[in-house]
Chain A
């Protein structure tokens, strides 16, 4: 993997090879390893190292990108030439901005919280033998409960940098370790997944025990009729479903009229207890502190007390929005450091979501509740570990469909009674976030359908299960 100094040297070569008005290079490099197990044995075990440079050239309103993972002069010249050729043939786009200077990026970042260290030597140093030992421990837990286990244990070290020809140079170095465990019984299963930049914060044995407990307790699942139920969504389930609305918190999505917020910014579509920020510097978040143009990621309030406050903006989107018919309806407009690498048609997106649960945000109860407390307060409902294969059904009412999976339980009279056959849901996110009765303390969670977030467990009334499956 390249260091920042080596990347700067490569960028100097690229500048020499280019005749464009402006040049930008994004470097990404990673060393990634993953041990995969199933049927209580390791069945796949991989390591990979790769570095990629993506070169963008600008010619007076025309821009394009070319990417290569080879760093010899010939490959770099070829990539520069490809980018320039793609750019030159275009009609000039009056909305394309010059690349941000170092001063512009710095000014936009003033007042932003410092991003905590996200590189941990202990995570980077994990060996194949270390991963095998952890998997052995997980398999032992499965054996103790007479279960079969499947999952992954991975670790990575990654570097990301952006340089441009008007002086910007940003660099980010990070590690990540991730464990995902499924425990399978004859007719039931349980699941847990967690990741962290610091491997010492992961407890594989505890995750394995929790997954095993879910598999055991959901054995011989009952089938109950689909319908509207109170549900308790564990954080991973909450994350996977709410993640489907954040593409819409984008200036471009509003300008394109493809957002469910088209006419809803400043309104209160959600309950009083919903507060959502995008906050890349949050201590439980991961990822780089700058966006695809090198702008510092700002902390942005998306929802406060149920009111949609703001959406995020790349530089060009902010300028376009200010000149649009929507300018008076969308609240504060400024570049927020959420742009994707240019050129792109999606603009920007908040991807460091943090739910906040202030104690005063509730009528009753007035404080965050644990999942156990949510169960204890539920007369009849469904506890959901995980959701699966979620897809959007209706873009404006934000109806999504999907399935429950790997640990779905009937709650009656304040207690988990038994496992349930899995349900299909068709649920509007707008009505779901209007029906939240309780929230837990937010935690870093990860699923499979959406990006990682800091999100609470949620107790939601009238969640719409429309069908049941056969297991």
Chain B
């Protein structure tokens, strides 16, 4: 694979380019699901190929090939150069790359158990145990579980001398119990909805999640929702669990800080951003308690956005995004860094695979936990009147990332510091900056976890990558609730 990257780089460099890089990538996946006591889906896949990125005549070109023979790789490099020269016909100015020292490195995701060394029998046995626990609860009409592993090995070589070999592992699992009765379908998921919890770790993540131990409770909650009261419509104090707050960060902080969106590069599909350049350093994004970082470093934790180098060879960094409520940073790349006066890329360029051009992506965009000790139960106890919402059910936000609406699977009304009744179909909505400015409490490190969003889509052709979001439960005042059913 590395030889293929070297061949591609040599071929592209011979084509008169001012910059070239080649990424040879090998991806292996295992995907298992069960449904109502049977295997739903069992598959493995591998995908190998190379992507060649060049700048010629001041414009970008990219070509990719699954054929790793010398002639095919050389042809891909030649196509990349041809594509770049075509791009140059419609350019306003030459591409400018921020300087970056050449890196020579080897890195592998730290893990205890390589998930691919675990047997399929072992994986399915666990999922079927969870499935049986859920279906043992009367009223459950559908039980679904899933488990996924991925290993991505890449070789990045650039005309500037970088030579980086990385191997990233990601692991995920989760389940959902559905209950259909009367004219309602209710569901509960664990540890999170839409695929569960995902991190860049080995099989030890699965072993730590207590999947079987929580299955019955989750199934019982799905059934109990049929007897719960509807979430009221109006204005309320809300507390969000960490997983929901992670998605809130993803949508209302992570996407608007992508500098390519801000600069209009995503205007046709993903949209633009309300965070225009003059807001950097000036906007009051949130309350004093809001501190958000974009951190791809291993020391931040094993999020889906953790790596040693991004896909253009820039080392992982931590960028302060919101500091004591003030907007302080964007996600940037070598091409876009100069637009914010930065000398160096923030190291966020990533591609879905060998056949995609890397673009700016969230790394681990995380809210930092509160400094004073505060557990979720203490936060609830300190809330006189409110609604505690848990586990995302639906999410939507406008194309500049102002107006959002989220639905959750379950909620509890809080009165005088106690959960007094379950509520079904909870939802809340608002405007991004108003929402973050209303945060008046956040739980401390003990409640903080990095949640994985494995399905973040962006770009044309669309690329789906995983992002990480560290969060602990937090409280927000004067939030509109219940409008989804208004």
Contact indicator per residue, chain B 173-201, by CB within 8 Å of chain A (1) or not (0): 00000101001110000000000000000
Q: Please, which residues of chain B bring their CB within 8 A of the CB of A135? A: 90
Q: Please, which residues of chain A bring their CB within 8 A of the CB of B395? A: 391
Selected from A44, A65, A393, A470, the residue in CB contact (under 8 A) with B484 is: A393
Contact B89 A46 (CB under 8 A): no
Contact indicator per residue, chain A 124-138, by CB within 8 Å of chain B (1) or not (0): 000111011101100
Contact indicator per residue, chain B 346-386, by CB within 8 Å of chain A (1) or not (0): 00000000011101000000000000000000000000000
In the complex, chain A residues 23-50 whose Cβ is within 8 Å of any chain B Cβ: 32-50
Cα distance A82–B93 in the bound complex, in angstroms: 50
Across the interface, name the chain A residue whose C-beta is closest to B403: A469
> In whole Å, how far is B351's beta carbon from the nearest beta carbon of chain A?
11
> In whole Å, how far is B57's beta carbon from the nearest beta carbon of chain A?
11
- Interface size class on chain B is 35 or more
Q: Please, which residues of chain B bring their CB within 8 A of the CB of A50? A: 49, 64-66, 355
Is A455 in the interface zone, CB < 8 Å from B? no
Contact A184 B267 (CB under 8 A): yes
Cα distance A75–B40 in the bound complex, in angstroms: 25
Selected from B46, B86, B268, B274, the residue in CB contact (under 8 A) with A182 is: B268
Contact indicator per residue, chain B 82-116, by CB within 8 Å of chain A (1) or not (0): 11111101111100000000000000000000000
Cα distance A89–B425 in the bound complex, in angstroms: 40
Is A451 in the interface zone, CB < 8 Å from B? no
In the complex, chain A residues 54-89 whose Cβ is within 8 Å of any chain B Cβ: 54, 63-70, 75, 78-79, 82-83, 85-87, 89
Cα distance A396–B178 in the bound complex, in angstroms: 12
Across the interface, name the chain A residue whose C-beta is closest to B35: A345
Selected from A45, A139, A392, A393, the residue in CB contact (under 8 A) with B62 is: A45
Contact indicator per residue, chain A 428-471, by CB within 8 Å of chain B (1) or not (0): 00000000000000000000100000000000000010111111
Whether A388 contacts B66 in the complex (CB less than 8 A), given A89-B121, A93-B39, comes out as no
> In whole Å, how far is B457's beta carbon from the nearest beta carbon of chain A?
10
Is B461 in the interface zone, CB < 8 Å from A? yes
Contact indicator per residue, chain B 48-65, by CB within 8 Å of chain A (1) or not (0): 110000000001111111
Q: Please, which residues of chain B bring their CB within 8 A of the CB of A32? A: 461
Selected from B42, B87, B355, B480, the residue in CB contact (under 8 A) with A42 is: B87
Contact A390 B120 (CB under 8 A): no
Q: Please, which residues of chain B bring their CB within 8 A of the CB of A237? A: none
Is B133 in the interface zone, CB < 8 Å from A? no
Is B345 in the interface zone, CB < 8 Å from A? no
Contact A45 B87 (CB under 8 A): yes
Is A401 in the interface zone, CB < 8 Å from B? yes
Cα distance A131–B86 in the bound complex, in angstroms: 8
Selected from A63, A132, A136, A148, the residue in CB contact (under 8 A) with B264 is: A148
Selected from A42, A65, A180, the residue in CB contact (under 8 A) with B269 is: A180
Is B243 in the interface zone, CB < 8 Å from A? no
Q: Please, which residues of chain A bring their CB within 8 A of the CB of B92? A: 39-41
Contact A136 B89 (CB under 8 A): yes
Contact indicator per residue, chain A 177-197, by CB within 8 Å of chain B (1) or not (0): 000111010000101000000
Selected from A36, A49, A150, A343, the residue in CB contact (under 8 A) with B65 is: A49
Cα distance A13–B237 in the bound complex, in angstroms: 64
Cα distance A45–B268 in the bound complex, in angstroms: 15
Is B398 in the interface zone, CB < 8 Å from A? yes
Q: Please, which residues of chain A bring their CB within 8 A of the CB of B402? A: 469-471
Is A104 in the interface zone, CB < 8 Å from B? no
Q: Work out how many contacts link A and B, with CB atoms closer than 8 A.
A: 278
Is B399 in the interface zone, CB < 8 Å from A? yes
Is B396 in the interface zone, CB < 8 Å from A? yes
Contact A48 B84 (CB under 8 A): no
In the complex, chain B residues 429-486 whose Cβ is within 8 Å of any chain A Cβ: 429, 431, 460-461, 480, 483-486
Whether A68 contacts B46 in the complex (CB less than 8 A), given A38-B264, A262-B180, A390-B396, comes out as yes
Cα distance A464–B486 in the bound complex, in angstroms: 9
Contact A48 B64 (CB under 8 A): yes
In the complex, chain B residues 415-438 whose Cβ is within 8 Å of any chain A Cβ: 425, 427, 429, 431
Q: Please, which residues of chain B bring their CB within 8 A of the CB of A42? A: 59-60, 86-87, 89-91
Is A405 in the interface zone, CB < 8 Å from B? yes
Q: Please, which residues of chain B bring their CB within 8 A of the CB of A389? A: 396-399
Q: Please, which residues of chain A bring their CB within 8 A of the CB of B120? A: 85-86, 89
Is A298 in the interface zone, CB < 8 Å from B? no
Whether A467 contacts B460 in the complex (CB less than 8 A), given A45-B61, A48-B63, A136-B89, comes out as no
Selected from B65, B80, B180, B398, the residue in CB contact (under 8 A) with A469 is: B398
Is A317 in the interface zone, CB < 8 Å from B? no
Is A344 in the interface zone, CB < 8 Å from B? yes
Q: Please, which residues of chain B bring their CB within 8 A of the CB of A426? A: 405, 483-486
> In whole Å, how far is B311's beta carbon from the nearest beta carbon of chain A?
14
Whether A86 contacts B42 in the complex (CB less than 8 A), given A45-B62, A396-B183, comes out as yes
Contact indicator per residue, chain A 274-299, by CB within 8 Å of chain B (1) or not (0): 00000000000000000000000000
Is A170 in the interface zone, CB < 8 Å from B? no
Selected from B90, B396, B427, the residue in CB contact (under 8 A) with A136 is: B90
Cα distance A209–B217 in the bound complex, in angstroms: 57
Cα distance A401–B406 in the bound complex, in angstroms: 9
Q: Please, which residues of chain B bring their CB within 8 A of the CB of A388? A: 271, 398-399
Contact A257 B141 (CB under 8 A): yes
Whether A344 contacts B268 in the complex (CB less than 8 A), given A48-B64, A154-B461, A256-B142, comes out as no
Whether A82 contacts B400 in the complex (CB less than 8 A), given A45-B60, A257-B178, comes out as no
Cα distance A208–B273 in the bound complex, in angstroms: 23
29 cross-chain CB contacts under 8 A: A40-B92, A42-B91, A46-B83, A46-B461, A47-B63, A50-B355, A65-B43, A69-B66, A83-B44, A85-B120, A89-B120, A90-B39, A91-B38, A93-B38, A128-B82, A148-B267, A191-B268, A256-B178, A257-B180, A344-B41, A345-B144, A394-B425, A401-B484, A467-B403, A467-B429, A469-B398, A469-B402, A470-B402, A470-B431
Give 6 closest A-B pairs by Cβ, nearest first. A345-B40, A128-B86, A469-B403, A67-B45, A150-B267, A257-B180
- Having A48-B355, A402-B396, one finds 9 other A-B pairs with CB under 8 Å, namely A37-B90, A46-B356, A66-B44, A83-B44, A128-B85, A148-B264, A257-B178, A397-B183, A466-B429
